[in-house]
Amino acid sequence: MPPFVRTRMPPLDLDQGLAIGALHRYVADLEPYAPPRAPSTGKRVAIVGAGPAGLAAACYLSKNGHACTLYDAHPLPGGMLRYGIPANRLPKDALDAEIDVIRRLGAQFRMGQRWGEDFTLAGLRQQHDAVFLAIGAQRAEGLRCEGQEHALAGIDFWSAWPKGTRRRWETMWRWSAAAIPPWTAPLGHPAGRPERAGPVSPQPAGDALPDGGS
């Protein structure tokens, strides 16, 4: 804890904790903090990937006066923060507010750009002074057992949820239910009987699913 916090705060009772993290979150929820930006250095940096690593790099580089451009194949920035974590765990409006701080620092976003199709590493090197690769690890590990081809990885599930349709979700659920082992039948699951399987949550109105599964 910084010295000025210890000297200026009232004394705490014995064994009483100070929730620094909760205080930080409360202040950040009121107004996302945009740090001051150093004068421009004239340097340009390309960042491949707008996930946690790419956003962090863009934040610190922009603060130090470097011009940053992020390239990502997804339609929206955030990476696994957006497509790998459900909205009840990480609200999308909070995520967008934090990303907006990086935009205000001067970072540029080139979304829907695929490496090898819309840009190349050699091209980025020619146009920028430095290139930072923040492509992440979005490929899920297989189960490494018989029948793993019937399993749906959590990363694939949460990636498909925000942009899927109700019909696609029902197909995913019925397909996964058909792959559940028969020994789960005593537990009340309609294993091996996909015609009886259905979504575990109420159907959303219309054809589109709610953003992030909230």
Domain ranges of the chain: 34-133, 150-213
Long-range contacts of 171-179 (CB under 8 A, 24+ apart): 173/197, 173/198, 173/199, 173/200, 174/198, 175/150, 176/150, 176/151, 176/152, 178/150, 179/147, 179/150, 179/151
Quick one: pLDDT at residue 184?
Answer: 44
- Residue 129: per-residue pLDDT: 98
Give the pLDDT score at 152: 77
Distance CA 47, CA 67 (A): 11
- The total of other beta-carbon atoms located within 10 Å of residue 83's CB is 20
Average pLDDT of every residue of the chain: 77
Please tell me the distance from the alpha carbon of residue 44 to that of residue 46, in angstroms, as a whole number. 7
Q: What integer pLDDT is reported at residue 189 of this predicted model?
A: 43
* Per-residue pLDDT reduced to its tens digit, 127-147: 999 999 999 887 777 788 888
Candidates 156, 161, 167, 165; CA nearest to 212 is 161
| Residue in this structure with the two tokens 């599964």, named with its chain if needed | 213
Question: What are the tokens at 107?
Answer: 């970072």
- pLDDT for 187 equals 43
Q: Which CATH number fits domain 34-133: 3.40.50.970, 3.50.50.60, 1.10.3720.10, 3.40.1410.10?
A: 3.50.50.60
Decide: 124 and 89 in contact? Cβ < 8 Å: no
Contacts with 152 (C-beta within 8 Å, 6 or more apart), sequence order: 172, 175, 176
pTM above 0.75, yes or no: no
In this prediction, residue 174 carries a pLDDT of 55
Pairing of strands 108-111, 130-133: unpaired
Q: What share of the chain is helix, strand, coil (3-state, %, to 5)?
A: 45, 10, 45
Q: Is 212 left (phi over 0), alpha (psi -120 to 50) or beta?
A: left
By the 10 Å C-beta count (0-12 exposed, 13-18 middle, 19+ buried), 7 is classed as exposed
R_g of the chain, CA atoms, integer Å: 23
* Per-residue confidence in pLDDT tens, the chain, 214 aa: 565 555 566 655 555 667 788 888 788 788 888 889 999 999 999 999 999 999 999 999 999 999 999 999 999 999 999 988 888 888 899 899 999 999 999 999 999 999 999 999 999 999 999 999 999 887 777 788 888 888 877 777 777 765 554 555 555 555 555 545 554 444 444 443 444 444 444 444 444 444 444 3
